[in-house]
Amino acid sequence: MYGLENISAHNGWAISLVGITIVFTGLTLLSLTIAQLHKILDLWENKDKYINNRNHKTLTSTPADVAPQPGMPAENLEDIHQYKLIVDRLEQPFSLPKLLDIAVKIGLERPHSTINKLLVKKIIVSDGKGYFIWKLQF
């Protein structure tokens, strides 16, 4: 027996298919690893920065112009202060999408969630015409 008959008789087609699958899977994993290698190297080079940021996420001091008042959520004082600064630069009443756009551009953490909290706590209220007003006074 020679040629294709010999390959078929000794499971040569199945062995070839398994070999091709193993090689293709290995090359795919290798390419994915190389594609993500820059993230691992960045983490390795800046590990002190990532460790320090993770340990110091809590609010250590309140801004000077935002003092805790009755009815004001004390856990969000920093967020309230940052958004108050943005609103002060906008015209009253202001557009909520514009506030969100500015918050995203300057890199505030979780702007959608924070603006939602400000709306729920009635710190930002609707004027009934599609715009919003900053209600909380300091």
Boundaries of every domain in the chain: 4-55, 74-134
Signed CA dihedral, 94, 95, 99, 105: sign only: negative
Can you give the pLDDT at residue 85?
83
CB 132 within 8 A of CB 120: no
pLDDT in tens, 33-88: 999 999 989 888 888 877 776 554 443 444 444 444 555 555 567 778 888 888 88
Q: How many CA atoms lie within 13 A of 88 on its CB side?
A: 9
SS3 66: coil
Can you give the pLDDT at residue 65?
47
Can you give the pLDDT at residue 109?
81
Can you give the pLDDT at residue 121?
83
Comparison of pLDDT for 18 and 132, the residue scoring more: 18
SS3 124: strand
> pLDDT at residue 16 above 80?
yes
3-state DSSP helix/strand/coil percent for the chain, to nearest 5?
60, 5, 35
Find the helix or strand (DSSP H, E) in which 79 lies: helix 77-89
Q: Cβ contacts of residue 104 below 8 Å, gap of 6+? A: 111
pLDDT in tens, 90-131: 878 888 888 888 888 888 888 888 888 888 888 888 888 888
Report DSSP letters for 86-104, one per residue.
Answer: HHHHSPSSB-HHHHHHHHH
pLDDT tier at 20, thresholds 50, 70, 90? very high
Which residues partner with 125 through β-bridges?
133
